[in-house]
Structure 1
Amino acid sequence: MKRKGTGINTARRKKKSKKKEDDENENTSGMVVDTYRSQLPDLVVERILSLISTRLAARASILSKQWARLWLSVPVIDLDEDGATPREDQRSKFMNFMRRYLKLRDKDTCIDKLRLRMRNLGGTVTITKWLTFAVERNVKELDICLVRTKSGQRYKPLYLSKTLLLKSTKSLTVLKLENVIVDLESTDGIDLPSLKTMTLKFVEFRTRLPFLRLLSRCPLLEYLLLNGCTWPSSQLKLSSSSLKSLQLAPDSSQIISKVKAVNLESFIIHCFHDILPFIKNISSRSCQKIRHLEFGYSTEMRSSWFEDLDLRFPHLERLILRRCQEPLGERIKISSEHLKYFLLFSDSLMSGLLCMSTNFPNLSEAVIILGSNVPRHISMDPIRRMLQLRDFLGQFDCSRKVSLHVSDAEV
């Protein structure tokens, strides 16, 4: 019994010794990390804090006095309600965090970027205060996303006043708005001399004139994306001498009837209707510098889209067809002397698009992506299907690289 007791005591002593050793190692490790952190320049710490959300930056501020001092003056503010906690009972905590941070924030530092993603449940005072706070400190990038729907529930848009835009005109280089109503009776006094990127998703304009005038006040605008934007009027003609990249999503492709952009290099249009009239309007001399052209989600593709492709787009190098529907009783023909990159994305291995005729003598890369969906009205035996695919791929023998991606398990 004595030996057994001795064994128990020895085990206890070893356990206490190990715990003490672990504590010492933990303290030593903490001292090493703290010593290392103290050697980091302020610019490095600010850069680290700028790459994470503001809520995570708040948590990281406990690491040292240096981090606690710098997190309130980081030039990038990223407030994401979903990135925090999506539960309804956490909504008030997120709003309280926004209010507290606004009070603690260093008022003398400029803001390079403000990203705000949240639901608008009414009572937009806090949101307005944050926007005012940012624009008064010469914010360069403004990214405001008010979530439209979540779990079947629809949320209110945010009214963006002219007064707020007037304050942010000089320094703004990037403007991204989602689920916002722009309340502009006129654009007098609004000038965006530095704006280069504008992304508008589900933005409502009361009339079309403020949008056109807004574009005219952006002499350096290079990238424009429209998705789900509306105005209670007819289609409009988009004109810009600085625009280099234009993307129209399905919900916005019908509101633009003509594009005049002499320096446009990239044009992407996704729509669910016939875009032939629109294509004819962009294939004039006003858009001859286009190098990248992408069509997507069209109900029916036609050969007339690609007639005189080299003549209309003499600088075209990249052509992408994404989930376009095969034509009925028509074989698509595409020819281009200058094309270097071609991508075809189809949901079905038995797509009629595989019957198209292509002629790209200077092609460098071809990418073919075929899905596994099988239309009910199409039936084809596997051998014939593979022969069709072989003949289609044979048209790209001149290409340096051909990539085929097929998700059909039978192939």
Structure 2
Amino acid sequence: MSGENEAKRQRGSVDRISELPEFILHHILSILDTKEAGRVIVLSKRWHYAWSSIPVLDFRPLYLKEFRDRPYDYDDDTVERFVGFIDKTLERYFMRKYRITKMYLELCKVDEKLKPLVDKWIMIAVQNQIQRLEIQINDLENKYKLPEILFCAKSLNYLKCEGAALPFYETMELVSLEYLILVPETVDDDMLQRIISSCPLVEIDISYYKCLTKISLPWMKKVNGGAESSGNGTMQSNLQEYPLQKFVCRGFLGELSWPWSMNVIALRNLRKLEFNSVPIRDDIISELSYGLVVLESLVLSGCFMLECINISSNSLKRLEISSNSELMKATIDAPKLLEFLCICDVRTSLSLIRAVDHCNAQFVSSCSYSTTIWLVKLKKFLLETNFFKSLLIRFHFVLDSSEIAFKEDQLRNAGTGVPYKLRELKLHGASSRNLTESSLLAFLNGLFWCCRPDVLSISTKSQDVVAKLILSILQEKAECWKDPLKNVEVESIEYPRLPSGLSVVLIRLRLSW
């Protein structure tokens, strides 16, 4: 009898996770950080084997103890051990024909001695079907040139090179390339033109304040003093149509002007356009939105020169307008718009013409304190625009009695009409340890005076008490103005982990009024 019990006990203790297919084990290991993965692989030989053949290779010094202890003062022996580790690992992948889907490679320098090794590593990655490659060479003296074999990588869809040059080669077989990040002083102008012409799926991501002084893009032309209109007739007629479908331009706040005109004929195939922290003008945005006839996604983020924009497009499906500090008015005519994200001040005037009912429109507002004036402006903004389905409030203030600067009678006398009907109200942020029920109730009542959501979702740090307090208040004590809550139903409670390693609590509540 004891033998039968022992057999049952052994069957019950079988490690079912280790029996999963190898590609699932690879996926689990790839989403863990190095320290966590190191704990996992000691569980069994199966896990250790999966780790030794994982298709994601990360060769960055930050994962080595010697580099972490002395990030700016490591000796030649440490570098030599790091190089030896990379070479040994890639040789094993080459001999056993393990697939490599992603590889991150960071080196402090590539001299004449090391260059053949790096060329070999890239050759192995190409032969083992590399899809995503990120290279960073921290060497200002010796500029490493990527080998020609890389441009035969038919499986490569993502390429980021920092400190490594893209020289011109006759070979160009990057048929799957979808994303290219351009870093200053690393791009051969002729090679860039070939990539643009030969890779119709490529998304060009460029830091204009550095790169545009080093290279020339066929759809952009620098004008004297930046005063010339973007609709320059000579430029429009001289340039051909390019297959480029995605273009991302990133600047920084130190640049105060946009001295380029852009050619809509050359960009007629563009489907995605993003300007991030670029001082582009209102008239250029209007012309691009109207002239790019197949444009589906437009992102304007941190463009501090924008004041009054008119966006008219019969193809636009996704629009993001965020953190444009001087924007006072935006008129949007996009009958096919399906997704609209707006992060702006409540003083901005928004008009959405010919909007479809099923457009997922979300407004995001941040506040460091809560006052009657802020709530009145927020409510007025929602009622005047009248097309937002969800509202996200990012609160970063301390929720105690000194921060709640409004009273119920003040809001009742504001007289801005009935609360705005929302599909979902999202609260993201953190609170003080001194949080009280009375201050939080005042904050909730102020929001419910402003809007009436069908769903309330709360996202905070898992150790924060705000989510539990909100749930307690709504279930037991809430009397939200003249129409108290009839019922509160908890739809879900989750504890996801963010990429940074922090955990949060997500509570989703359905409200009946």
Q: Is residue 367 from structure 1 mapped to residue 362 from structure 2 by the alignment?
A: yes
- Give 1:130's aligned residue: 121
Aligned to 1:345: 343
Question: Within the alignment, does 1:336 sit opposite 2:325 as a pair?
Answer: no
| Offset from partner CA, 1:259-300 (integer Å, 9 cap, x none) | 534443332111342334643563454x21222211111122
Q: From the superposition, tell whether residues 254 and 129 of structure 1 become closer, same or farther in structure 2 (CA, over 3 Å).
A: farther
> TM-score w.r.t. structure 1 length?
0.68
Identify the range of structure 1 (175-184 vs 360-369) with the bigger mean alpha-carbon deviation.
360-369
The answer to whether the 8 A contact 2:250-2:278 is kept is no
Q: Is the 8 A contact 2:316 2:334 kept in 1?
A: no
| Superposition map of 1:183-332 within 5 A | 183-184=166-167, 186-195=168-177, 197-205=178-186, 207-219=188-200, 221-227=201-207, 230=211, 232-233=213-214, 235-238=216-219, 242-250=243-251, 257-258=262-263, 260-276=266-282, 278-279=284-285, 282-283=288-289, 285=291, 287-303=292-308, 305-306=309-310, 309-310=311-312, 313-327=313-327, 331-332=328-329
Structure 2 counterpart of 1:405: 393
Mapped to 1, the partners of 2:390 and 2:12 lie a distance apart of 56
Counterpart of 2:454? none
Q: 1:314 to 1:132 in 2, by over 3 A?
A: same
| Count of residues in Structure 1 that have an aligned counterpart in Structure 2 | 352
**Separation of aligned partners in 1, 2:35 and 2:142:** 23
- Cα 1:156/1:63, change in 2 over 3 Å: farther
Work out the percentage of aligned pairs sharing the same amino acid: 17
How far apart in 2 are the matches of 1:368 and 1:157? 48
What does the per-residue CA deviation read over 1:317-357, in whole Å, with 9 as the maximum and x for residues that have no partner? 33221110225xxx5241325244433224xxxx4x62414
Are the structure 2 counterparts of residues 53 and 134 from structure 1 closer, same or farther at C-alpha, using a change threshold of 3 Å? farther
Going from structure 1 to structure 2, the CA distance change for 1:98 and 1:232 (only over 3 Å counts) comes to same
8 Å contact kept, 1:226–1:249: yes
TM-score normalised to structure 2 length: 0.56
Q: How far 1:69 sits from its partner (Å)?
A: 5.0
SS at match of 2:319: strand
SS in structure 2 at match of 1:224:
strand
Counterparts of 2:383 and 2:28 in 1: how far apart (Å)? 50
SS in 1 for 2:314: coil
Deviation at 1:232, TM superposition (A): 4.7
CA contact (8 A) 1:258 1:278 kept: no
The CA RMSD measured in Å over matched residues stands at 4.1
Q: Find the aligned partners of 1:66 and 1:106 in 2 and give their Cα distance.
A: 21
Return structure 1 stretches of 4+ with deviation > 6 angstroms. Answer: 28-31, 53-59, 252-256
What does residue range 30-41 of structure 1 map to in structure 2 within 5 Å?
32=13, 39-41=19-21
Please name the residue that 2:458 is paired with.
Answer: none
Q: Give the Cα–Cα distance (whole angstroms) in 2 for the partners of residues 38 and 385 of structure 1.
A: 55
Q: Tell which has more relative contact order, 1 or 2 (C-alpha 8 A, sep 6+).
A: 1
C-alpha change, 1:326 and 1:55, in structure 2 (3 Å) is closer
Superposed CA deviations along residues 85-120 of structure 1, whole A, max 9, x for unmatched, are 451458625444323323443424153423214352
Structure 2 partner of 1:165: 148
Alignment check: 8 A CA contact 2:241 2:268 kept: yes
Q: Deviations over 1:153-211 (max 9, x none)?
A: xx64984535x234542423313214233242x3322232232x223152434553321
Secondary structure of the 1:204 match is coil
Matched AA of 1:343: L
**What is the aligned counterpart of 1:354 among 337, 343, 347?**
347
Which structure 1 residue ranges, 5 or more long, are not aligned? 1-24, 149-154, 375-380
- Please say which of residues 89-98 and 172-181 is displaced more in the overlay: 89-98
Distance in 2 of aligned mates of 1:398 and 1:47: 40
Cα distance change, pair 247–391 in 1 and its aligned pair in 2 (3 A): same
Q: Distance in 2 between matches of 1:103 and 1:207?
A: 31
Question: Whole-Å Cα distance in 2 between the matches of residues 319 and 385 of structure 1?
Answer: 26
Cα distance change, pair 212–44 in 1 and its aligned pair in 2 (3 A): same
